[in-house]
Amino acid sequence: MTNQTKASDFIRDIIAQDRKANKNEGRVITRFPPEPNGYLHIGHAKSICLNFEVAKENNGRCHLRFDDTNPTKEEEEYVQSIKEDVRWLGYDWGEHLFFASDYFDKLYEYGVHLIKTGKAYVCDLTADEIREYRGTLTEPGKESPYRKRSMAENLDLYERMRTGEFPDGTRVLRAKIDMASGNLNMRDPVIYRILHASHHRTGDSWCIYPMYDYTHPISDAVENISHSLCTLEFEDHRPLYDWTLDNLPVACHPQQIEFARLNLSFTVVSKRKLLRLVNEGFVDGWDDPRMPTLSGIRRRGYTPEAIRNFCERIGVAKRDSTVDVALLEHTVREDLNNRAPRSMAVLRPLKVVIENYPEGRVEELDAQNHPGNPDMGTRKVPFSRELYVERDDFMEEPPKKFYRLTPGREVRFRYAYFIKCERVVKDDKTGEIIELRCTYDSESRGGSAPDGRKVKATIHWVSAAHAIPAEIRLYDRLFVTENPEADKEKDFIENINSKSLEILTECRLEPSLANAAPGSLYQFERQGYFCADSKDSAAEKLVFNRTVTLRDSWAKIKGRGKS
């Protein structure tokens, strides 16, 4: 809470030095440049947080710019979801919303400029030929036969490309750089291609579209970006980024700096793979709570604060790395522990009858909404003769260290009484335990006995007559392997966790949960953090998603016994 020192990183260090040297008059402007061709995921969150936070720390600003130069892949729907997700994460681009397509006229004119200065030419080679001429990683390329075209001819052809005279793929505009460069990106890269496709913003006004490598530096320069942060795979593109700006009459030359993208254990984030999960029905959609998309994570119950905190803790560096999902889970628990009100929910009910408790009697007991924060107040919870407890909280033949209910043992029912299990009722035929007959100590109301005796366990419960039914969806990691993509021979689909979703329909909740608003967050004591599903939960039929379990040291002890 106090003056927390923000961890620095190499990018912040560079920016600090730049400001010290008064580069760009000390101004810091960054940008988050998504392509509107899919949903944002946790990997994008790293970039969003980096760009917006760095700007904020330096009294600068961060632009939201859609890199929409490929109309065949981009859609308005994605623009909307991206804006929503960035806002949800807690960032505001203010007036600075841009689209690369805003710059199409300028981009085209700059193409003319390059031709006039002998830095670009129209090439008639086919895509296959261009690939052949490009050479290989170890051999230099060959110059295109069209490389020496006259300026006049280039200008004419470029203009005619734009007016729609030529079919797709017949010609491109290329930068004239160096076919022998060790960097393939510098071997006369294509900067404009013909695409008779309708664009989500410019409609049919264009049939030629600029390439990323050409568009990005110019867009950055036009917006006066000071530091253009991108991921490692663009490191090879930096010479082209710089070449473009060095050969055009732009007023500013932003600095591209590359950092490592986020990889998360037990998770997959490539758009192509996420698309397969959706299309092949392994999940229910882009916002399925198991998806690493921001919309999925949000629906799961993660908070923006938790995500931001996570992004801050993972740091920013150049080394390829894979962050343990446990850290993400930790940051949600940390945040939810502070803010989520507590309540009691029985997921797998086991009937309990308190034999010495008067029939028909109901007591309203006081329960704290948050043991660590009295400001969150208290609530009443009804207690009666017939209750439900968690099946897992009873064992007829308990192993060592099992402290919960067991025949003859007394435990505390949270905020209620000391309860002792007297008898187990089983189904005659199946032998299944169907009910527990118990007694209570009327002196222990509230949960402590006047004689000072102790119990080892406190368990949660609900009153059978008052409990409200609900569906609870237990989500777990989507993959069972730490790196689902590790084995190149194997389809990552084979690593899917078949138990990533368990739907419980017989759950019973304490009555105070009756009007849980969609999206609201709770801790169901001893179980985990849950949120009312934003799509499916309604007053008539409550549906909760498990965001994350509580840390469970009992599970560890139990696990040891097994292996």
Partner RNA sequence: UGGGGCGUCGUCAAGUGGUAAAGACACAGGACUUUGACUCCUGCAUCGGAGGUUCGAAUCCUCCCGCCCCAGCCA
Q: Which residues are catalytic?
A: 35, 261, 271
Q: Are 522 and 341 in contact (CB under 8 A)?
A: yes
Bridge pairing between strands 528-532 and 521-524: antiparallel
Contact 210, 192 (CB under 8 A): yes
| DSSP structural state of residue 143 | -
Q: With respect to RNA, which residue has the nearer C-beta, 216 or 379? A: 216
Taking the least distance from each CB to RNA, the nearer of 83 and 370 is 370
Q: Which is nearer to RNA, 80 or 321 (CB)?
A: 321
Of 327 and 518, which has the nearer Cβ to RNA?
Answer: 327
Nearest to 213 by CA among 196, 194, 180, 188: 188
* Residue 519 CB, nearest approach to RNA (Å): 21
CB 32, CB 47: distance < 8 Å:
yes
Q: Quick one: DSSP state of residue 40?
A: -
Q: Closest separation between CB of residue 540 and RNA, Å?
A: 28
Residue 393 in 3-state DSSP?
helix
Number of Cα atoms under 13 Å in the Cβ half of residue 381: 26
The least distance separating RNA from the CB of residue 404, rounded to whole angstroms, comes to 5
H-helix or E-strand spanning residue 12: helix 10-20
Q: How far is the CB of 13 from RNA (least distance, A)?
A: 5
Task: Round to whole Å and give the CA distance between 334 and 163.
Answer: 58
Shortest Å distance, C-beta 538 to RNA: 26
For 475-537, what is the HEC assignment? ECCCECCCCCCCCCCCCHHHHECCCCEEEEEEEEECHHHHHCCCCCEEEECCCEEEEECCCCC
Residue 424 three-state SS: strand
What is the nearest approach in angstroms of RNA to the Cβ of residue 336?
10
Residue among 24 and 309 whose Cβ is closer to RNA: 309
Sequence-distant (≥ 6) Cβ neighbours of residue 375 within 8 angstroms: none
Q: Tokens 């010290």 map to which residue?
A: 20
Cross-strand bridge partners of residue 264: 323
CB-nearer residue toward RNA: 288 or 329? 329
